[in-house]
Structure 1
Amino acid sequence: MTSSKRPNAGTKGVARPEREAQILAAACRAFGERGYAATSVADVAEAAGISKPLIYNYFGSKDGLHVACVRHASAELTAEIERTAHTETTGLARAVITLDGMFRRLADEPWLWQVVQDPTAPDSAMRQEIETDERRVLAFAREAVTELMVGSGDTDPVDVDLMLAVWESVFRTLVSWWVDHPGETPEQMTHRCLRLIAAASTSATGG
């Protein structure tokens, strides 16, 4: 007697890729909202509506599941930054577009940001999984900062390095603040950033 179950099926007839995506979505949210240390495989299983053994079967361990989540979240955020980097905007306009794109990408899944920023996550796994994506993001940031500095007449490489460090800090701070204030829509946050930039520019020029 032959089985009618599909070769690539998971539990109860659900295809394995679909089941893995379901588990990954639940795990990303759990790790993002609760943190790695406070999240158990049982928490993820309950959120996904499946059994713990199925998670172990697909991902091997809590660490294996977490690494998959970090890889997914990092890739998603990097892809968004890469998308806005190709809009051909420069200067402060590029900075605003980058922030706006990130706010909109995270609007429905703010926990993706928290997954890659989790202070309770194992450092070794975190660093290994996002190192390549971080280098890509840094390259885009350096390109944008260099364009901004050159456009203002400053070609000092040390100034560029310093501005890059400032931009990284400002970007992380703004996105983290927004994630911690869910009442702010992406549009509201983008306008808030524009007001901050305008205020800083006015103060710097004494206007």
Structure 2
Amino acid sequence: MSRAGTKGVSRAEREQQILAVAIEEFGRRGHARASVADIAARAGISKPLVYGYFDSKDGLYLACLHHVGRLLVDAVAAARTHEGSPRHALDTLAAVFTAIDGCRYAWSLLYDPTLPPAGPVHDTAHHYRGRLAGMGAAGSARLLAAAGHRDPLDHAFLDHLWQYTVTAVMRWWIDHPEQSPADMAARSARVLGALGPR
């Protein structure tokens, strides 16, 4: 007996269905604890079919990494309207909310602490993390320079705060699925605005 939804679906569409489920499973449970069997069951297909598309668990994780990595990098790169001003941070968050609305576990997947210590999965995650960190560091440097602050430790401090703030925001959003990207952008503007000088 065939599983539901396995007929009449193109390869590209099937891959996207598998990726959508896998991103959430890997994002929720981590590389170490997620299983291909559970991903296949949630996608309504067989485990061998997943392997037929992606070869291995790591092959599937790599496909997920490339999907979310490109989404995040493209979103952050596009959010440069107010570069060098405090508004840039809000634009960046708004762009990320919109880009990953369909896969809210993207950040958790990319920054998964259970990834292997070496190999293609590790290297690919660090590639995308590095690109995001580089853009974040450049934005921090421009913001501080515009305010007349050139202390390298200030730069390192702000960059550290930004990375952990984005992670905290993404985790909060996962816990509040009723919040739309527009809701999150507005909330971020209110909360971050309240932290500014009076």
Q: Normalization by structure 1: what TM-score?
A: 0.79
Q: Given the alignment, which residue of 142, 165, 169 partners 1:147?
A: 142
User: Which residues of structure 2 form unaligned runs of 5+?
Assistant: 1-5
Give identity over the alignment, percent: 36
- Asked if residue 84 in structure 1 is aligned to residue 79 in structure 2, the reply is yes
Does the 8 Å CA contact 1:41/1:62 hold for their aligned counterparts?
yes
Q: Given the alignment, which residue of 21, 28, 34 partners 1:26?
A: 21
Matched with 1:181 is 176
Aligned-residue offset at 1:107: 2.3
Take 2:157 and 2:136, find their aligned partners in 1: how far apart are those partners? 12
Aligned-residue offset at 1:95: 0.4
Q: Please give the residue correspondences for 1:160-179 in structure 2 after superposition, counting only pairs within 5 Å.
A: 160-179=155-174
Q: Please give the residue correspondences for 1:66-77 in structure 2 after superposition, counting only pairs within 5 Å.
A: 66-77=61-72
Does the 8 Å CA contact 2:111/2:125 hold for their aligned counterparts?
no
- The code of the aligned residue for 1:140 comes to M
Matched with 2:3 is none
Structure 1 residues 142 and 180: CA distance shift in structure 2, 3 A? same
Take 1:108 and 1:14, find their aligned partners in 2: how far apart are those partners? 20
- Asked if residue 138 in structure 1 is aligned to residue 137 in structure 2, the reply is no
Structure 1 residues 132 and 34: CA distance shift in structure 2, 3 A? closer
RMSD: 2.4
Does the 8 Å CA contact 2:115/2:122 hold for their aligned counterparts?
no
Residues matched between the structures, number: 192
- The code of the aligned residue for 1:117 comes to Y
- The code of the aligned residue for 1:189 comes to M
Structure with the greater alpha carbon radius of gyration: 1
Take 2:177 and 2:144, find their aligned partners in 1: how far apart are those partners? 33
Describe the SS at the equivalent of 1:29. helix
- Asked if residue 194 in structure 1 is aligned to residue 189 in structure 2, the reply is yes
Q: Given the alignment, which residue of 93, 101, 110 partners 2:95?
A: 101
Structure 1 residues 37 and 160: CA distance shift in structure 2, 3 A? closer
Structure 1 residues 197 and 18: CA distance shift in structure 2, 3 A? closer
Take 2:131 and 2:188, find their aligned partners in 1: how far apart are those partners? 24
Q: Normalization by structure 2: what TM-score?
A: 0.82
- Asked if residue 57 in structure 1 is aligned to residue 23 in structure 2, the reply is no
User: Which residues of structure 1 form unaligned runs of 5+?
Assistant: 1-10
Does the 8 Å CA contact 1:91/1:145 hold for their aligned counterparts?
no
Does the 8 Å CA contact 1:116/1:126 hold for their aligned counterparts?
no
